[in-house]
């Protein structure tokens, strides 16, 4: 695939949505589908504009973690556009990302158990967070180039969503990842096999 073609994300598989999954806070499959479609339009527009100026695609120059964070932030900011029963948590670094609409003053919650935590990842498993806690977690898994690919001579590829999974996790569904005395990596918690299976069993989208 050439760079120009890679600027246009792969469309969603319209038959890839699970109508029988369980979602909290009044969310429906159609809300998630519309939000994902909006992101594909957004990314395609930006990348096509960047290409006209001979600049690399967004996913090709942002640090991998920053791009994943942007995907997740777009989801949490846009889902309330379609689902009026949830709101984006306005508290700085508040948890979870989406809260029940109208439950908190100014939709700001420092830490709550109701709502949905959202993550986006290039990894199909082993998702991480900074805290091990009870939470309804949803993960948007995608495939895309990264800022390292050019140096590795990896060919251009268009962004695509691979799957979306989510479930109510308990503290026991997380395990903290250790680090060496010389490491500067932030200590994180990873979803365990039991948590992963809960989320896979309640899959929301899978591309063919």
Tens digit of each residue's pLDDT (9 = 90 or more) over 21-63: 999 999 999 999 999 999 999 999 999 999 999 999 999 999 9
DSSP summary character for residue 202:
T
- Percent of the chain surpassing pLDDT 90: 75
Residue 173 lies in a domain: no
Helix (H) or strand (E) holding 72: helix 64-82
Q: pLDDT digit string (tens) for 159-194?
A: 999 999 999 998 888 887 655 444 445 567 889 899
Answer yes or no: is 193 within a domain. no
Its pTM stands at: 0.91
- Please tell me the distance from the alpha carbon of residue 176 to that of residue 61, in angstroms, as a whole number: 30
Closest CA to 188 of 200, 198, 174: 174
At residue 84, the 3 state secondary structure works out as coil
Strand 117-121 relative to strand 135-143, pairing:
parallel
Residue 189 counted as domain residue = no
Whether residue 185 is contained in a domain is answered as no
Which among 162, 166, 169, 176 has a CA at the least distance from the CA of 206? 162
pLDDT at residue 97 is higher than 90: yes
Helix (H, G, I), strand (E, B) or coil at 23: coil
Give per-residue pLDDT as tens, 135-161: 899 999 999 999 989 888 899 999 999
Give domain status of residue 14, yes or no.
Answer: yes
Dmax of the chain from CA atoms? Answer: 50
In three-state secondary structure terms, 197 is helix
Closest CA to 116 of 167, 81, 65: 167
CB distance 118 to 97 below 8 Å = yes
Asked if 167 contacts 201 with a C-beta cutoff of 8 angstroms, the reply is yes
Task: Report which DSSP code applies to 107.
Answer: G
Structural domain harbouring 29: 3-125+139-167+198-206
Q: Is the pLDDT of residue 202 over 60?
A: yes
Torsion of CA 59, 178, 126, 156, to 10 degrees: 20
50: its two tokens: 């960047």
Sign of CA dihedral 61, 6, 127, 149: negative
- Residue 192 included in any domain: no
Q: Total domain count for the chain? A: 1
Answer yes or no: is 176 within a domain: no
* pLDDT for position 189: 81
In a domain, 89, yes or no: yes
């Amino acid at each position: 695939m050439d760079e120009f073609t890679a600027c246009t994300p792969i469309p969603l598989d319209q038959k890839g949505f699970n109508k029988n999954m369980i979602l909290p806070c009044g969310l429906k499959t159609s809300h998630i589908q519309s939000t994902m479609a909006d992101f594909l339009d957004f990314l395609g527009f930006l990348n096509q504009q960047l290409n006209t100026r001979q600049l690399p695609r967004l996913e090709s120059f942002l640090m991998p973690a920053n791009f994943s964070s942007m995907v997740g932030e777009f989801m949490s900011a846009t889902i309330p556009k379609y689902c009026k029963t949830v709101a984006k948590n306005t508290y700085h670094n508040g948890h979870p990302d989406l809260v029940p609409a109208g439950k908190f003053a100014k939709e700001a919650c420092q830490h709550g158990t109701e709502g949905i935590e959202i993550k986006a990842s290039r990894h199909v498993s082993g998702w991480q967070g900074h805290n091990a806690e009870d939470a309804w977690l949803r993960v948007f898994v995608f495939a895309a180039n990264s800022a390292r690919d050019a140096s590795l001579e990896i060919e251009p590829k268009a962004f695509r969503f691979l799957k979306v999974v989510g479930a109510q996790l308990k503290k026991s569904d997380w395990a903290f990842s250790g680090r060496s005395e010389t490491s500067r990596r932030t200590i994180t918690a990873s979803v365990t096999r039991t948590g992963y299976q809960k989320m896979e069993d309640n899959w929301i989208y899978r591309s063919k």
